Every structure is written in structure tokens, then in C-alpha cells.
Amino acid sequence: MGGHRLNLSTLVFSVAVIIVVSHSAQSLALKHSPRFLRKLAATGTPFAPPQFHYETRYFQQRLDHFSFSDLPTFPQRYLISTEHWVGPQRLGPIFFYCGNEGDIEWFAQNTGFVWEIAPRFGAMVVFPEHRYYGESTPFGSAKEAYKDATTLSYLTAEQALADFSVLITDLKQNFSAKDCPVVLFGGSYGGMLAAWMRLKYPHIAVGALASSAPILQFEDIVPPETFYNIVSNSFKRESFTCFNYIKQSWNEITSTGQTYNGLERLTKTFNLCQKLKSTGDLYDWLDSAYSYLAMVNYPYPSDFLTILPGHPIKEVCKRIDGAPAGTNILERIYEGVNVYYNYTGKEKCFELDDDPHGMNGWDWQACTEMVMPMSSNQDSSMFPPYEYNYTFVKEECWNDYGVKPRPKWITTEFGGHVRK
């Protein structure tokens, strides 16, 4: 009897492994889609005491600018400072930051550049929040706004750009500033918005400064390996051995995970609070650290995504490479990612993201318009090899949100392909 039970449970275990692996591959597929701020944007770091001064205001926006459906309006939050503005007579410019996928105060506090140059240009500064993020949620609450595909359906880049255009038009009228030039700013997804807005609303903005804005990361415009190659090169540039340790670590994780008690050993090595459920979850956790490190590899200390030293990738590699002889690869990796997850040394253990498919604004956008193919190349990338599979993405999006992505829409609406 006991033997039978054992066999049966072994069988169940094998099936479970297959499911886990297949889930991991799918999960990787979605994550390997556009790697933007995602949940970080919702949680962020605890705000430092405000460095910059502004007023907080609200503007009632149409939920749908492009139809005449009878939908409720929603309050769009915006931060505004006229402290240094020289006014309409002297054609004082309006510096307009295109809010991206998160709380606008977080972006305002972390975009010193705009605040620093505003006095020199005598500029008004406006930081509007992107619809569906922060306090700018339709339907009265984030819970209602994120309920399902119907309530989320107006969370698109075109609607956000129309919000900005309507807000600017209204502000200009209220400040009698019709002739004052508007200059757009933005980074990451907000940079994409700034660039697209300059293209689509040239009558509204005379210029745009778009930073780290992957507007060409759609369809087949750039090779799908581009993103992970750039991240990998940021590590390779610091240290080839560091790059190689990371590159080798994935197989170590997989083979360790497949051994008896392997997941427990990984849990211990990486000091996780909860027992690791699958190696895929650990992959994601490490992938996040490396990717975000490359995004915020500033030459000075920062606390945008988390508290980090200047040149954080250099610091990661220093710890990976510099561990005492005999330290195994996974221990080295653990030392390295501590820079990202625990630079202050205050974390007792690490919580992995246990709800990767929760309702989340950016994931919705990635499942609708922001279909950005991303692969990881066997040779040039330090990440596990992965070939982008649109079918997986489509299925995940259907399962998570009941929505069909439109992978060709962004290039149709905003362009990007170069004609011969």
C-alpha cells in the first residue's frame, strides 16, 4: 500500500514539475515583454521629503476623447509651479513632463533636471499624472478602474496624449498664455509619450526631450535581442568575469532546483523569506535586479527605484568578482544582487513578487498596445536564452485580462518603420 502511494505521489510530482516548468516559460514570456517600471511604479520608494515645490491640482478629463460615449469623467492630478515663470508677456515657456506609469509625485521628485533648468528659462513647470496611475483613476477608485477589461479599456497611450493636449490647451487659456511655447519632457514610457506627442501634436509642443524612450522596440523595427544585449553589455563593460558568472548562474539554478531539496537550498542561498516555489520565480527576481540596475546605472547615488550607490553595476560586479576564492557561483550572485535589493543592509530576508499576474496598469498596457518583442540571445546576452513567442504573450493576456493584444497598432498609429 505504502509503495503504491509513493509511486502515485512521484507521478503527481513529475506532472507538477512539468506544469511548473511550462508556467515558468510562459511567465518568462510575459516578463520578457516590455520591462518597464511595472509594480515598482505603484509602490516606489518611500518618498524622501519633497525637494521641489509645487501645487497639486485636479482637472476633469473625459474618459474617452475619441468617441462620444456617455462615460464618467475622472480627475487628472497635476503638479504645477509658476514660481520661476516669467509670464505670457515675455513668452515664458511651459515645461511639461509627460507622466508615466506611476504616482506623479514620485516622478516629480526624481526629475531634478526639469526643476533645475526651469529658473534659467523662466519656465512654468507642470507634471501631469498619467490616467489610471496614482490618484488619477477613473470610476472613483483604483479598485473599480482595474476591475476588468471593460473598465481598463481606456488605459491607452493615445488617450493619455489627448489628456495632456486638453490639459495644456486649458492651462494656456487660463494663464492667457496661448503663445507660450510648450516643451515636453519624459523618460522611459514617459519619454515615448513625449516623442509621440511631439509627432502627433506639433501645434501644441515645439519640442520634446525624450530620454530612454524605446519607441522603436515594436514589431521588427529593432532586433528583439536589443534590450537584453544592452543590459548585458552594461555588465560586460564593467567586468567580463562578472558577466560570465551571471551567464553561468542560470544553469546552476536550474540544476540545483532539480535536485532533492534543491528549492530549499536555493531558498537558503538567496535568503528568501518564503520557500521558493519554482526556479522560474528566482529567474524573474534576478532578471528584475539586473534589468533595473541597467536602467538606473547613474554615476551618482540615487533612490529612484531603491537606494543605490553611484555606478551600481560596478558595485555589483565588484562583489561578484571579489568574493573569496572558493565562493560558488550562486553565493557570488547573491552577494551581487544584494546591492540592488539590500544596499542599506536593512532587509532580513527577501520576498519574491508572489503575484506576478495581479492587475497592474503597465501589464495591461503591455497586453494591449505595448507589445514589445524581447528575446535573449545565447551568445551575446548574459540572461537565459529565450526566444520571444507572441503566441505565449497572447494566451497570457487572454488569461490574465480577457484582452487581445494589437501588436501592429503602435507602428500604425505612431510609425517607426523606416521607408527606403
**CB-based burial of residue 185 (10 Å sphere; 0-12 exposed, 13-18 middle, 19+ buried)?**
buried
Q: Are strands 94-97 and 207-211 parallel, antiparallel or unpaired?
A: unpaired
Contact 371, 407 (CB under 8 A): yes
Nearer to a second copy, 169 or 254 (CB): 169
Q: Are 120 and 113 in contact (CB under 8 A)?
A: no
Query: Minimum Å distance from CB 103 to a second copy?
Result: 24
Cell numbers that stand for 294 in this block: 541597467
Question: How far is Cα 396 from Cα 27, in angstroms, rounded to an integer?
Answer: 8
CA 94 to chain CA centroid, Å, is 27
Minimum distance from residue 97 beta carbon to a second copy (Å): 19
By CB neighbour count within 10 A (0-12 exposed, 13-18 middle, 19+ buried), where does 303 fall?
middle
Task: Choose between 130 and 332: whose C-beta lies nearer to a second copy.
Answer: 130
Nearer to a second copy, 330 or 410 (CB): 410
* Minimum distance of a second copy from residue 155's CB (angstroms): 8
Q: How far is the CB of 415 from a second copy (least distance, A)?
A: 3
Residue 193 beta carbon to a second copy: minimum distance, rounded to whole angstroms? 15
DSSP-H helix ranges across 240-381: 240-258, 262-269, 279-295, 312-322, 329-341, 361-366
Tell me the three state secondary structure of residue 127.
strand
* Selection from 40, 104, 100 nearest residue 291 by Cα: 40
Closer residue to a second copy in complex, CB, 67/212: 67
56 by DSSP, 3-state: which? strand
In the sheet that 94-97 helps form, which strands lie side by side, from edge to edge?
Answer: 55-61, 74-81, 124-128, 94-97, 182-187, 207-211
C-alpha 87 chain-centroid distance = 36
CB of 170 to a second copy, least distance (A): 9
Q: Rank residues 321 and 395 by Cβ distance to a second copy and give the closer one.
A: 395
Residue with smaller CB distance to a second copy, 43 or 412:
412
In this structure, the dihedral spanned by the alpha carbons of residues 32, 34, 39 and 41, taken in order and rounded to 10 degrees, is 150
Q: Least separation, in Å, of the C-beta of 147 and a second copy?
A: 14
Closest distance of CB 225 from a second copy, Å: 23
Q: How far is the CB of 319 from a second copy (least distance, A)?
A: 44
Name the residue nearer to a second copy (CB basis): 116 or 170: 170
Which is nearer to a second copy, 65 or 319 (by Cβ)?
Answer: 65
**List of residues contacting a second copy (CB under 8 A):** 64-70, 149-150, 152-154, 156, 158-159, 162, 165-166, 169, 178-179, 181, 199-204, 368, 403, 408-409, 411-417, 419-420
Instruction: For residue 80, give the amino acid letter.
Output: I
Reading the block at residue 94, the C-alpha cell is 511651459
Distances (CA, A) of 176 to 96, 124, 168, 205: 17, 13, 12, 16
Q: Is 156 or 256 the residue whose CB approaches a second copy more closely?
A: 156
